[in-house]
């Protein structure tokens, strides 16, 4: 059985010397599964991440086929390349 997996997120802020700024989180819904769960989980994780990284406000989730579910879950960015550029051959 396939599950949505969330990997642990570091609670320590990255070093400012490294020039790293966390702008937000991104996910792609697993193929063949309902994207709603993945998007809800990312939105919840985003809330926890903002407790230690308040600048991480972006939630990039959803593509052309599931953008409505992503917007309902709170996406601030969606990737709609297929709707704009048309379908492409699968890579890999």
State the total domains in the chain.
Answer: 1
Domain assignment of residue 37, given as a range: 23-84
60-89 pLDDT, tens digit per residue, is 999 988 999 999 999 999 998 887 888 878
**Other C-beta atoms lying within 10 Å of the C-beta of residue 75:** 23
Q: Is residue 14 part of a domain?
A: no
Confidence of residue 46 (pLDDT cuts 50, 70, 90): very high
The pLDDT assigned to 1 comes to 46
Averaged pLDDT for residues 1-26: 67
Q: Is residue 57 part of a domain?
A: yes
The model's pTM: 0.73
Q: Is residue 55 part of a domain?
A: yes
Q: Is residue 89 part of a domain?
A: no
Q: Is residue 39 part of a domain?
A: yes
Q: Is residue 61 part of a domain?
A: yes
Q: Is residue 40 part of a domain?
A: yes
Dihedral sign, Cα of residue 5, residue 11, residue 12, residue 15: positive
């Amino acid at each position: 059985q396939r599950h949505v997996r969330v990997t642990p997120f570091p609670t320590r802020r990255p070093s400012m010397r490294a020039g790293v700024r966390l702008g937000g989180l991104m996910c792609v819904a697993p193929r063949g599964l309902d994207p709603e769960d993945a998007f809800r989980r990312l939105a919840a994780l985003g809330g926890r991440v903002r407790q230690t990284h308040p600048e991480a406000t972006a939630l990039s989730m959803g593509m052309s086929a599931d953008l409505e579910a992503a917007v309902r879950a709170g996406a601030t960015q969606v990737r709609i390349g297929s709707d704009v550029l048309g379908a492409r051959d699968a890579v890999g």
